[in-house]
Structure formats: C-alpha cells, structure tokens
Amino acid sequence: MKRWKTWVRKNQFAIKLEAGILLTIIVLTYLITHVVWFNGTVAGKSMEPNFYKGDHYFASQTATIRRGDIVVINPPGSSQQKLFIKRVIALPHDQISSHDDTTYINHHAIAEPYLDPYKARLRPGMLLTKNFTLHKLFGIRRVPQNSYFVMGDNRRQSVDSRHFNAVNRRDIIGVVKLRFWPLNRWTIY
C-alpha cells in the first residue's frame, strides 16, 4: 500500500494529465456528435436514386443552408418522431414554379443534374415533377422569410413542400455533409 501511495505521489501530474485528456475527448466527442453533428438513417424512397432506404449520413447542425443542399427536416404538422431528408430548391423570398420538368426560381430555369438518373428511367412524355406554381399550391407568390422550399429527388414519391409548404428554418435539423454507409456509395456533400 505504501508503494502505491508513493507511486501515485510521484506520478500525480501524469495521472491528472491523462484524466484531463480523457475527459476532454469524452466531452468533445459528445459535443461533436450531439450538438455540431448528428448521424441518421434514410427511412423512405423520396430521395432515390441518390439516397436509398438504409443509407447512413452525418449532418451538420451549424452549416449555412444553400440551394441544392440536402437537409434533414422535422416535417411541419407531423406528430411522429420521424425526420425527412429532402433537397433545398428555393430560399427565402424566392419565387418557384415547375413547368414541363423544368424548375424555375425567380423566372430562371435552374439546373438539376441530380434528377438525371431518375429522368433516364421515365417513359417518353412522362413528367418527373408535376407542373406547379407557389401561388397555385398555397396562394402565395414567394417563399416566406426564414423558410425554405424543399423537394425529394424522387419527385413522384415525395411528400415535400409541394404538400406541406415551405419549411421554417427552425424545423431544419441539419445539412447532410457525408453519406458513410454503404461504403461503396460513400460521398462528401
């Protein structure tokens, strides 16, 4: 017992240093995985063929939201504890419409190359995205302040802003930055 006390006294600094490092690693890991980043799993088909059911991702809760980003949302009016994964199409104050499978933001056609794999599977003459305007859907001309218009890439199977209107910023949980599973589809966004 005396040798133990002597050893502890001689190595007190090293013991405190190691304990401090271990505690710092634990706290940082918790903060990174629960405050700054979180991981999730895709649950539905609304983002196919870009994300499939069972794909795993990391999302940043602090990232700036940009058009084209893939976001994790708490869907408006949902009483379930289910999060949706969608793509940001229009930003606050934007006008949005779709005509003949071309999406228009502020009357300018936007490129949506992420839809090409799905469009390639459609029969000639079929539309991926039904024609719409924000005014016809909800009687408004622009996406409200602090809100974002989101749609799934699998437009024919997605419940999104065309159904529940734009998503308020507070209902956007994070921006997907990394798909890490399956490994053969590992992607940084």
Reading the chain (189 residues) residue by residue, the pLDDT tens digits are 777 777 777 778 777 778 788 888 887 777 666 667 788 889 888 998 889 999 999 999 989 999 999 999 998 776 667 889 999 999 999 999 999 999 999 999 999 999 988 888 888 888 999 999 999 999 899 999 999 999 999 998 899 999 999 999 999 999 999 999 888 888 888
Q: Could you tell me if residue 76 is inside a domain?
A: yes
User: Tokens representing 65?
Assistant: 């939201």
Q: Could you tell me if residue 10 is inside a domain?
A: no
Total structural domains within the chain = 1
Q: Could you tell me if residue 14 is inside a domain?
A: no
Q: Could you tell me if residue 15 is inside a domain?
A: no
**Residue 73: domain span:** 42-188
Q: Helix (H) and strand (E) counts for the chain? A: 5, 12
Q: Could you tell me if residue 11 is inside a domain?
A: no
- Interatomic CA distance for residues 154 and 77, integer angstroms: 22
Q: Could you tell me if residue 62 is inside a domain?
A: yes
Could you tell me the CATH number of the domain that includes residue 132? 2.10.109.10
Positions marked active-site: 46, 86
Q: Could you tell me if residue 25 is inside a domain?
A: no
Q: Could you tell me if residue 9 is inside a domain?
A: no
